[in-house]
Chains A and B, each alone.
Chain A
């Protein structure tokens, strides 16, 4: 027969944690195992990233896309310069810039590098 009073008391007795003296040491053991698992995971993700990156670089190099991009880039700069010269008075654009078009290209490159660093940091935080 059910005895709610006794069962309630039993539940409360089970809920009382026994006084085990090495709580700190136990917590350290768990933290240590957690850290090991964490490090292993990060190494695995990093390793897979490097492998994927190498494969990607290899594929890009093999396809000759770099050479084609260089040609396209040169042509683009020429087309852009001609277009700018034809449609904008010179004083509206580069005259107001402290530096020339080289600066814009360099700034663009830094922006790309910055974005890559932000993405890497975000991945590192995951």
Chain B
């Protein structure tokens, strides 16, 4: 029986696909190494999608547990990180739906462009995270799902149960803001 607390050097130097293969055989220590490697990326994605740090931590944990349950479906055709990002993004959307009492996300609502200041503190002042502050919640979500989680516009529309045209508009507006926020061309 493997001890998840132990971290043999061989695990630390193993490729993600090898670790996933071990995890498919029930090796929780190997899976723990994957969590250690990609935990920050997953929580970072959730923070960039607009989650506050507590929610990001919770959804990220749930995502890793769900991914372990579904690890048999991972065939190494894509990177492990890309695979789990999609799982986590869907969990986050499900959580947002629950918060809105099962209703659809209102992509046309444009609250005030606020993003979580706490999340921003956690993320620090990196260019991207700074620029994301200028986006509305829905713009941030759509852009994050497309460029952070690898969703297509159609997949975002499907996941959010929103019209494809609305998603494309949100992404376009978000990209325009990011382009100026990231000082593209000037940096």
* A interface with B by C-beta (< 8 Å): 3, 6-7, 9-11, 13-20, 23-24, 26-31, 33-35, 37-38, 125
Contact = CB atoms under 8 A, between A and B. Distances in A.
Contacts of B175: 3, 6-7, 10
20 contacts: A11-B147, A13-B182, A14-B128, A14-B147, A16-B126, A17-B44, A18-B40, A18-B47, A18-B129, A20-B40, A20-B122, A26-B39, A26-B60, A28-B5, A30-B32, A30-B65, A34-B31, A35-B4, A37-B65, A38-B28
Interface of B: 4-5, 26, 28, 31-32, 35-36, 38-41, 43-45, 47-48, 57, 60-61, 64-65, 68, 122-124, 126-129, 143-144, 147-148, 175, 178-179, 182, 184
Contact of A18 (B4, B64, B123, B143): B123
Nearest to A25: B39
A101 B71 CA distance: 53
B65 A33 contact: yes
A19 B68 CA distance: 24
A8 to B, nearest CB: 10
- The prevalent SS among residues of B at the interface is helix
Contacts of B60: 26
